[in-house]
């Protein structure tokens, strides 16, 4: 269907932070399939885990239990450091559908009829997640959604305070707008959101589908702020390229569903769980949280040091950055970068998303920042 347009490139293989197109040309992959290929391409740990699991058991459905799903749920709760329960899905949007159903069930039992989400926020493309997505261009032509979702400007704690009353069931927020252009909120915003939810009894749902699993230098981006959400959704980098999503209910929020309230045939399948366990083990074994901090700082300072009339700055945290442009020419810069052998993502008309594999090397980061002036010049 024409929904993806015509992609600019066909890729045939990858290794580490590099990929090769069908003609054999090499590129440095600076966005890792939208922050998904956290270990890079063809990491031996992922190859081994997936191969061994598919050779042993590829599917059970959720009428039966298997070991990788139990280990993964326990591992995620251990990283979060709080008691909770985990529902495993296949994607980000499904993780958010689960969170939405938790929020609606919570609200219905308590006379809390509406939800709050952020303008320019992104939560997915299925019906419930789309209803929470604050981008009129991708949302409005498919509504109405039958949900009372109230949108507030992202980063404005006063607006959030005004919107979240005791009739609000839940607040859905990303730790920084991802699809919105890697836009971090002002300091203290997320902590204020936690306080507002505590004061009113609304659930705080942190959509960490893009921001978690080391991307910002912490397992979960909210850990930088020192609070815990009621519900946490994960996907993208968790599977390192294999499809998986997770919805974690912290404390009592993990006990809202009764038997039969939710389900998924493929959700938590053994192969994706084995992949996720390999990702978590490797992030730990290779010290990738620290590397995200270190190489993120190198990438950000390398971009900031470039002086070019098209470049206005750099924002974000860890290896989750956006280079911002003075004019809406991100598409042209993306094309010029590809021409020069670098894959970047024009996430907004005036912003390039950089979210490379956490295993990218310092020399590879330097090769990108060294090439950036000529890339920008090529887009003029």
Ligand X SMILES: *Cc1c(COP(=O)(O)O)cnc(C)c1O
For 78, 138, 236, 343, the CA distances from 276, given in Å and listed in that order, are 14, 30, 10, 25
128 binds ligand X (CB under 6 A): no
Pick the closest to residue 79 from 238, 316, 241 (CA basis): 238
Sheet-wide strand order for 342-343: 11-15, 18-21, 26-29, 342-343
Catalytic residue among 122, 172, 342, 368: 122
93 binds ligand X (CB under 6 A): yes
Our answer to whether residue 207 is catalytic in this structure is: yes
| Residue 271-310 contact track with ligand X, rule CB under 6 A, x = bound | ----------------------------------------
Written as six digits, the tokens of 106 are 């919570």
Pairing of strands 11-15, 311-317: unpaired
**Helices within 109-188 (DSSP H only):** 127-131, 136-139, 157-163
CA dist 34 and 115 (Å) reads: 27
Binding segment (CB under 6 A) for ligand X, from list 70-78, 119-127, 143-151, 353-361: 119-127
91 binds ligand X (CB under 6 A): yes
DSSP-assigned beta bridge partners for residue 135: none
Q: DSSP letter for 143, please.
A: -
253 binds ligand X (CB under 6 A): no
Which of 174, 225, 350, 364 touches ligand X by CB under 6 A? 174
Written as six digits, the tokens of 271 are 């192969």
Catalytic residue among 29, 207, 230, 350: 207
Which of 18, 41, 66, 123 touches ligand X by CB under 6 A? 123
178 binds ligand X (CB under 6 A): yes
Q: DSSP letter for 266, please.
A: S
Binding segment (CB under 6 A) for ligand X, from list 62-70, 174-182, 214-222, 350-358: 174-182
Minimum CB separation of residue 222 from ligand X in Å reads 13
Minimum CB separation of residue 94 from ligand X in Å reads 7
Our answer to whether residue 56 is catalytic in this structure is: no
CA dist 204 and 345 (Å) reads: 30
What is the size of the binding site for ligand X (CB under 6 A)?
A: 15
CA dist 198 and 204 (Å) reads: 9
31 binds ligand X (CB under 6 A): no
CA dist 19 and 23 (Å) reads: 11
Q: Which positions from 182 through 221 interact with ligand X, judged by CB under 6 A?
A: 207, 209-210
29 binds ligand X (CB under 6 A): no
Residues near ligand X, by CB under 6 A: 91-93, 96, 122-124, 174, 178-179, 207, 209-210, 235-236
Residues annotated catalytic, as ranges: 122, 207, 236
């Amino acid at each position: 269907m024409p929904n993806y347009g015509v992609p600019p490139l066909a890729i045939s293989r990858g290794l580490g932070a590099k990929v090769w197109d069908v003609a054999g040309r090499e590129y440095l992959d600076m966005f890792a399939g939208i922050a998904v290929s956290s270990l890079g391409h063809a990491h031996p740990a992922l190859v081994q885990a997936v191969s061994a699991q598919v050779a042993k058991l590829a599917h059970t459905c959720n009428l039966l239990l298997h070991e990788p799903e139990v280990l993964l749920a326990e591992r995620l709760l251990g990283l979060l450091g709080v008691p909770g329960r985990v529902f495993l899905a296949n994607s980000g949007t499904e993780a958010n559908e689960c969170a939405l159903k938790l929020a609606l069930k919570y609200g219905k039992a308590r006379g809390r009829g509406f939800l709050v989400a952020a303008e320019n926020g992104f939560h997915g493309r299925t019906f419930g997640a789309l209803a929470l997505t604050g981008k009129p261009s991708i949302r409005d032509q498919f509504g109405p959604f039958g949900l009372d979702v109230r949108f507030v400007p992202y980063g404005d704690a006063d607006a959030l305070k005004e919107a979240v009353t005791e009739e609000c069931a839940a607040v859905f927020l990303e730790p920084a707008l991802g699809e919105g252009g890697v836009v971090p909120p002002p300091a203290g915003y997320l902590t204020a959101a936690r306080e507002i939810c505590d004061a009113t009894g609304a659930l705080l749902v942190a959509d960490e589908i893009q921001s978690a699993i080391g991307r910002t230098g912490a397992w979960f981006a909210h850990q930088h702020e020192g609070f815990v959400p009621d519900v946490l959704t994960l996907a993208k980098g968790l599977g390192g390229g294999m499809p998986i999503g997770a919805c974690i209910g912290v404390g009592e929020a993990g006990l809202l569903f009764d038997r039969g309230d939710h389900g998924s045939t493929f959700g938590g399948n053994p192969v994706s769980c084995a992949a996720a366990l390999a990702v978590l083990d490797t992030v730990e074994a290779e010290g990738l949280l620290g590397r995200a901090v270190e190489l993120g700082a190198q990438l950000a300072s390398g971009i900031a040091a470039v002086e070019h009339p098209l470049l206005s700055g750099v924002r974000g945290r860890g290896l989750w950055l956006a280079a911002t442009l003075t004019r809406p020419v991100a598409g042209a810069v993306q094309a010029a970068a590809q021409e020069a052998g670098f894959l970047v993502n024009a996430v907004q008309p005036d912003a390039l998303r950089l979210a490379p594999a956490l295993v990218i090397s310092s020399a590879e980061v330097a090769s990108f920042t060294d090439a950036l002036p000529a890339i920008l010049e090529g887009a003029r």
